[in-house]
Amino acid sequence: MTNGYEINVEDIKKDFPIFKINMSGKPLVYLDSAATSQKPQQVIDSIVKYYSEYNANIHRGIYDIAERATEEYTNSKEKLANLIGANSVRNIVYVRNTTEAINLVALSWGNTNIEKGDHILISDMEHHSNLVPWQLLAKRKGAILDYIKLDSNNEKFDMENFKENLEKNPKIVAVTHASNVLGTINDVKYITKEAKKHGSVVLVDGAQSAPHIPVNVKSIGCDFFALSAHKMLGPTGIGALYGTEEILSSMEPLFGGGDMIDAVTRYSHSWNSLPWKFEAGTSNIEGGIAFGAAIDYLNTVGMEKIRRHEEKLVKYALESLESIKNIEIYGPKKDETSIKSGVVSFGINGAHPHDVAEIFNSEGIAIRAGHHCAMPLVTEVLRKGAVSRMSFYLYNNEEDIDKAVAAISKVKKIFHLE
Ligand code: PMP
């Protein structure tokens, strides 16, 4: 560990088998954790262990391995509840991902609570998964979709504009905790407090925050919080919707079937208790169990430490990039790393982001280029067709950033740029 970093990246990397591979004949430098994170051996092993030692359906059998599967799956929810400061597993609904969590709210809560002419408030920083479900709901109901504008630097919310929008008493305010393009960490506690003064329900998209910064849903005060396991060292196909007991109890299940019922007669049924009333059919059992293993891993390192590590890295990256000519950086800059997650989007004047990503690939570096599923932000606000993005996690270090900077020099050389 050097320069005050508290995480020993060399040791961490040993837990992630992917770092044994080469890409384009070079050791993999993975700078795309905002898309999906890599998985430690402990998470991979937990899946193998489930299938080879106690594979059985949950909530059904009373034999030993079925009870163990049920216990491990429920334990995983308990771990998640603790990680994000929820009261209990009753607040944690397992779904496929953040997208499904938000759609569940828009469909179940939205269908009952939104009427013609109601306002729904989101922002100009949203990923499509916290945007399209609200467009669909607004269309179904004849509701009005409003956007919190960004400040003049396109870095943060324009708080005056947020307050103006609140005057319309939106039924729901749904905003991202951390932007997957700008890296901006929004003050969702303050946003929730202000929105509550207007009687709004608040949903926080935690896809980019839960993996990287300590989260406490009770301290935020939101009604809903959505996240994806695959961005936090866990497997794909599992994510969670946190909801307060009050709001989840008031909602109807979206799907009917096995496991979500208490009793069924020919013409009626009653619902299972929370959170199971929202989980119809056989769950992603391996996913839930492996998500538990991912949370164990995060806890062993410590969320505070992960955040400090990424803040140092992002500062280093911004300092390095800001000194390069003809580079445009989007989102908060090096003097505002306290509100910047480990996401750095940039453009090199004169080179298309897709070409940049190709050249990075030839150096063994994985970055993403495109609109990052945030088209209104990238095309309408930033007025770009695409941007390049590097994103960091606990297995990245300054050496990775130095390699990225060297790749930028290569881009400039190939395109004869200054
Ligand atoms: N919200 C944000 C801010 C995201 O970055 C992402 C993933 N890129 C999502 C939502 C959607 O996550 P998922 O694809 O896992 O549903």
DSSP labels, 176-236: ESB-TTT-BB--HHHHHHHHHHTT-EEEEE-TTTTTTS---HHHHT-SEEEEEGGGTTS-T
Question: Which of 24, 358, 392 shows the shortest CA–CA distance to 370?
Answer: 358
- CA 147 to chain centroid, in Å, comes to 20
Q: What is the mean pLDDT of residues 38-58?
A: 98
According to DSSP, the β-strands at 224-228 and 144-148 are unpaired
Q: Give the pLDDT of residue 246.
A: 98
State which fold the 2-30+302-414 domain adopts.
Aspartate Aminotransferase, domain 1 (3.90.1150)
pLDDT band at 3; cut points 50, 70, 90:
confident
Task: Give the residues across from 343 on adjacent strands.
Answer: 391
The string of pLDDT tens digits covering residues 271-285 is 999 999 999 999 999
The string of pLDDT tens digits covering residues 359-410 is 999 999 999 999 999 999 999 999 999 999 999 999 999 999 999 999 999 9
- Residue 32's SS3 state is strand
Q: Give the pLDDT of residue 1.
A: 56
pLDDT band at 418; cut points 50, 70, 90:
confident
Q: Is residue 132 within 6 Å of ligand 1 at its C-beta?
A: no
Q: Is residue 23 within 6 Å of ligand 1 at its C-beta?
A: no
Q: Give the pLDDT of residue 61.
A: 78
| Number of Cβ within a 10 Å radius of residue 2 | 8
Answer whether 180's CB lies under 8 Å from 373's CB: yes
User: What are the backbone angles phi and psi of residue 61, rounded to the nearest 5°?
Assistant: -70, 155
Q: Say how many Å lie between the CA of residue 99 and the centre of ligand 1.
A: 7
Q: Give the pLDDT of residue 2.
A: 64
Residue at token pair 């109807």:
252
Answer whether 65's CB lies under 8 Å from 54's CB: yes
Task: Show the 3-state SS of 131-150.
Answer: CHHHHHHHHHHCCEEEEECE
Which residue has a Cα nearest atom 4 of ligand 1?
A: 207
pLDDT band at 16; cut points 50, 70, 90:
very high
Residue at token pair 């163990």:
68
- The domain locations on the chain are 2-30+302-414, 45-299
- CA 391 to chain centroid, in Å, comes to 13
Among 129, 177, 203, residue to substitute to test ligand 1 (most atoms within 8 Å of Cβ):
129
Q: What is the pTM of this model?
A: 0.98
pLDDT at 56 over 80: yes
Active site residue 373: yes
Task: Note the residue count of the chain.
Answer: 418
How far is it, in rounded angstroms, from Cα 15 to Cα 369?
A: 28
Q: Is residue 280 within 6 Å of ligand 1 at its C-beta?
A: no
Question: Which of 222, 2, 10, 256 shows the shortest CA–CA distance to 102?
Answer: 222
State which fold the 45-299 domain adopts.
Aspartate Aminotransferase; domain 2 (3.40.640)
Q: Is residue 373 within 6 Å of ligand 1 at its C-beta?
A: yes
Q: Say how many Å lie between the CA of residue 129 and the centre of ligand 1.
A: 6
Q: Whole-number mean pLDDT of the chain?
A: 97
What letter does residue 376 receive in the DSSP assignment?
Answer: I
How far is it, in rounded angstroms, from Cα 192 to Cα 204?
A: 9
Q: Within 13 Å of residue 381, how many CA atoms lie on the same side as its CB?
A: 26
pLDDT band at 60; cut points 50, 70, 90:
confident
Q: Is residue 37 within 6 Å of ligand 1 at its C-beta?
A: no
According to DSSP, the β-strands at 239-243 and 224-228 are antiparallel
